[in-house]
Amino acid sequence: MERIIQNEYTLPLQVASYDVDVHDRIRLSAVLRYQQEAGERHLSPAGLGWRALSQAGIAFVTSRWHTVIHRLPLLEEQVTLTTWHRDRKGPRFFRCYEWRDAGGALLIEGVMQFALVSVADHRLLRGDEFMRLAPLPDARRDVACADPGRFPTVDLSPVGEYRVRWSDLDRNGHMNNTHYADLLCDFMPGGMDGREPVDVQLHFAGECRLGDTLAMTASATGHTACVAGETQRGRAFGAQVIFRDGV
């Protein structure tokens, strides 16, 4: 059966009160949640949503995220989020995102990198396993935001621990990727209050399961800060943030 996939999908939305911080700006974790929803809505009509893929024994997992923030959307602001599948490089799939305000001004642009895994054993699959289902890339457009890079090699110091709770888990039985953005903010050296992120990278390195304890480490130099978490199995995630007004 032929699968018809739009070149892009646009999700109109109004920023809800439960998705903003104390300064009425959308949280980084909410940015990830809305992007996850937009991607799902893009692929579902062609039978490529999470449920259909799960029944086929495969699933996408987020491996890296890079976003450039021109301005964070505000409480009750009406914005549009547009997403499209860009391309595949071996086992890595790339999806682009653009957020715009009601006047069309660019607010956020980003690239998310995905990997394809087996549902049964979470084994990484070859990219061509999905090509019989995959959307064609939208060659007409791209974002200026660079692809996610490697997590920087910096010295990090202990800043606390976090125990994975039931409310952190998604249907795959591990901490949902959007929750790592909250950990980034919660363990940021000096806190997030009064600081404006303009460039964020998140690297998802390993699963966090119920009862795991994340040993959190961090560092801050100039306008840049890094936060990471490790379980007893190794690195779970790492993040780098660049702030507009310094650290």
Q: Give the range among 61-65, 191-195, 213-217 with minimum mean pLDDT.
A: 61-65
pLDDT for the residue numbered 132? 57
Helix (H), strand (E), coil (C) string for 33-82 = HHHHHHHHHHHHHHCCCHHHHHHCCEEEEEEEEEEEECCCCECCCEEEEE
Amino acid code (one letter) for 104: G
pLDDT tens figures, 158-179: 999 999 999 999 877 889 989 9
Does the pTM of the predicted model rise above 0.85? Answer: yes
In this structure, the answer to whether residues 106 and 169 fall within a common structural domain is: no
pLDDT for the residue numbered 174? 84
Output 54 or 113, whichever has higher pLDDT: 113
**Mean per-residue pLDDT, 18-27:** 96
In this structure, the answer to whether residues 106 and 205 fall within a common structural domain is: no
pLDDT for the residue numbered 37? 92
pLDDT for the residue numbered 128? 60
The answer to whether position 137 is within a domain reads: no
In this structure, the answer to whether residues 15 and 117 fall within a common structural domain is: yes
Signed CA dihedral, 108, 32, 3, 123: sign only: positive
**Mean per-residue pLDDT, 202-212:** 91
Domain of 234? 157-243
* Total domain count, the chain: 2
In this structure, the answer to whether residues 75 and 13 fall within a common structural domain is: yes
Q: Sorting pLDDT into bands at 50, 70 and 90, what band is 2?
A: very low
